[in-house]
Structure 1
């Protein structure tokens, strides 16, 4: 009997476990390996499926015997095991690439340095409300590969990070949404912005004339790359203001979307999402909806009743006249810029975490104009101090969320906003940005 091809999955989180389930379902021999310990739910799932796995280390002999490697997005190529895999020439792909091989569903794929989770969630909400048979996955929710193995959807709405796009080769987005590209994750890309840009632009890889590319025309990096790469797909640019080349924009306090010889209009004030950055998210989502011929009334209702995304400009409570906002998902400087821009009061700003090669000059002007107090929350705040010391009169350090919230409570004045918008990854003090945001909400509610 012919021996099955061996697929090795590196990483035992949501992405890796889903990939292992799909590989098993498609008749491969599967082995999952994680350098750390697995969460109990994933350990149980692998055991229930009878998928062999290891944790807290890698068995090189087994891994290097693989026909193909499916690498979880959080694993950089610089790890010792990845260096050996690359040296041996074993193909390495992402969960997205692998899952895409086994479904004929239409792919609506969304990336950007900021706004991709909100836009992905909004597009999914619109399609679900319109009665589409649609799955949600990628960098959000349940593993895409696992859904391909266990469900049957006609459409997928996928949030794709640069890490996931690195491992995409034959996968194709039927509709690609490219919101923006600003510096992020530069520690992963040798502090070379172009390497990060190249990863993001893989979202248009393999697109053909019948596919669509929706993008923010005012982003200089995006527009430069589109001019350079000359994609074959239909180009659908959007902007906050009407221009000759835009299909979606705001004009006279209305959202206007002109697609497929139809024009959609909606009062700006009826949008559920507030702020300029969320206008972009709504415009991009509306273009997707009109490409799919979703009725105007359904689209209006969905744009008006969308609940937003946890940890993204999430209003937590008002305590003694001070508004507390959880923007823990702001893991890069540009995200924080949008948050600062959207707040109209004086701000007590909680910053800090694991720095990814950040340049804080982007938020300097807004901080100088709007911020009353800076609170640095991290194991190492030296880079923040080096940039902001002497510029903001009141700067404090905190080593826990409880301490940060307590310091913010003592610093804020009635009418102020306390904003957690860290600019950084969470892994120095917290398990994830969700854990960081949840702790913020917990301590605020105890005030």
Structure 2
């Protein structure tokens, strides 16, 4: 890393545009690599400590960077800034950039300029990763030249720089969408809109919904919007917007003319590019929420004119992603399920809804202003005990003290697993589905899930 005057020369040396990247995670480092390849002068700035792997990559590519600070005298000279989705709009450096009129964009927006690949973009409060992974699996098995990126896998920008894909399946969060302007989805998939991350949206559901609906911006009549017709917020948002893309709804509650619907345990997919039907017991992913995810992926596959045999085969042999309702073991007749990726109440609702045994539920972590009301009915029906895993469990106790016989506090994955094992009996399920972020006791939800699985193995 260079310091002082050497760095400030970045903004003035040479003729190339000066791009600054804020946040040196997977997306930021990938954006820096692509920018360098496109002839930009590049500077990467991270307000926290950088991962050694990313430092090494930037050094290998001869890209200047800093950590534990934002040097405003450099950053505010940028022609354009690529911002990590984790940095909020109200961060001081972002406010200063906006005040100066310097464009602040996402890695997806930046990378989209440098590829002609078809974009299949998947967003929603829940099910994004599963649906993106399943869609990628379908396309890859059909022989398409396809990349998987966004909130999942290697950064989109890095893949645009290093590979030549014809299609990309992108898992896109609301934070990414907030900084996307010219980018266009050829196929936009909107799974659902339920309260999440409201702290970033002034605690207003409409603001969060508006963010999700940015997935359809710039779409034309040649493009597709695939959406859940059973999701109240999504339907409300569609009804108040002029949508030019072809609309393909999916529903398990009613028949649709085009899109997908469920009838007597059979899914029917109907599109202008062909139809498909298959029984839900043929699907690798079980549970009501996964019928929705499979419908969204199946419609996408038909729009791309994949063969029905390939779709059926892929839908049947797909292996679910790690930390999403992942089977973690069976000890003394007790099943252990790792759903650490459930970082909001709605995800935990889906997990509980798919359980057909008595449950010992492991809940807790960093509460993002959760409203636990929607879980109460399912907890009463299915949960015999709650094991809290977090530093502050007060709100969980308050929410469920009248609904379960026992709520206990634990402060490590090992302790939580031991306690849950003692509270469960043969035939029960121990479900880690925390409904909260993990940062109080763990590095991230993956760390939480892996510690849970390791603790199960130790029993």
| TM class by smaller structure | over 0.9
**Counterparts of 1:20-419 in structure 2 under 5 Å?**
20-260=32-272, 262-419=274-431
Deviation at 1:233, TM superposition (A): 0.2
- CA–CA separation in structure 2 for the residues paired with 1:36 and 1:263: 50
- CA–CA separation in structure 2 for the residues paired with 1:66 and 1:378: 41
- Residues 50 and 67, structure 2, Cα contact 8 Å, conserved in 1: yes
Deviation at 1:3, TM superposition (A): 2.6
Counterpart residue number, 2:3: none
Deviations 1:380-435 (A, max 9, x none): 11221222223322000011111111110111111110000000111111111111
Deviation at 1:246, TM superposition (A): 4.8
Scaled by the length of structure 1, what TM-score is found? 0.98
- CA–CA separation in structure 1 for the residues paired with 2:167 and 2:258: 26
Deviation at 1:245, TM superposition (A): 4.3
- Residues 364 and 389, structure 2, Cα contact 8 Å, conserved in 1: yes
SS at match of 2:252: strand
SS at match of 1:187: helix
- Residues 331 and 424, structure 1, Cα contact 8 Å, conserved in 2: yes
Q: Alignment RMSD, CA only?
A: 1.1
- Listed as ranges, the gaps of 5+ residues in structure 1 are none
Scaled by the length of structure 2, what TM-score is found? 0.96
Larger displacement relative to structure 2 (238-247 or 102-111):
238-247
Deviations 1:362-385 (A, max 9, x none): 111101111111111111112212
- CA–CA separation in structure 2 for the residues paired with 1:46 and 1:184: 33
Deviation at 1:247, TM superposition (A): 2.1
Deviation at 1:195, TM superposition (A): 1.4
- Residues 359 and 384, structure 2, Cα contact 8 Å, conserved in 1: yes
- CA–CA separation in structure 1 for the residues paired with 2:57 and 2:428: 47
- CA–CA separation in structure 2 for the residues paired with 1:38 and 1:364: 41
Larger displacement relative to structure 2 (235-244 or 107-116):
235-244
- CA–CA separation in structure 1 for the residues paired with 2:279 and 2:444: 37
Deviation at 1:264, TM superposition (A): 0.8
- Residues 239 and 246, structure 1, Cα contact 8 Å, conserved in 2: no
Deviation at 1:89, TM superposition (A): 2.0
- CA–CA separation in structure 1 for the residues paired with 2:54 and 2:307: 40
Larger displacement relative to structure 2 (319-328 or 79-88):
79-88
Deviation at 1:312, TM superposition (A): 0.5
- CA–CA separation in structure 2 for the residues paired with 1:253 and 1:40: 50
- CA–CA separation in structure 2 for the residues paired with 1:399 and 1:363: 23
Deviation at 1:2, TM superposition (A): 5.5
Deviation at 1:86, TM superposition (A): 2.1
Deviations 1:7-26 (A, max 9, x none): 10000000000000011111
SS at match of 2:81: strand
Deviations 1:294-339 (A, max 9, x none): 0011111100110111101011111111100000011111110010
1:424 has 2:436 as partner: yes
- CA–CA separation in structure 1 for the residues paired with 2:302 and 2:69: 49
- Residues 258 and 271, structure 2, Cα contact 8 Å, conserved in 1: no
SS at match of 1:255: strand
Deviation at 1:263, TM superposition (A): 2.2
- CA–CA separation in structure 2 for the residues paired with 1:261 and 1:162: 30
- Residues 191 and 357, structure 1, Cα contact 8 Å, conserved in 2: no
Counterpart residue number, 2:449: 437
SS at match of 2:154: coil
- CA–CA separation in structure 1 for the residues paired with 2:282 and 2:196: 32
- Listed as ranges, the gaps of 5+ residues in structure 2 are 1-12
- Residues 324 and 417, structure 1, Cα contact 8 Å, conserved in 2: yes
- CA–CA separation in structure 1 for the residues paired with 2:240 and 2:80: 32
- CA–CA separation in structure 1 for the residues paired with 2:33 and 2:64: 11
The alignment of Structure 1 onto Structure 2 pairs a total of residues equal to: 447
- Residues 110 and 176, structure 1, Cα contact 8 Å, conserved in 2: yes
Deviation at 1:142, TM superposition (A): 0.4
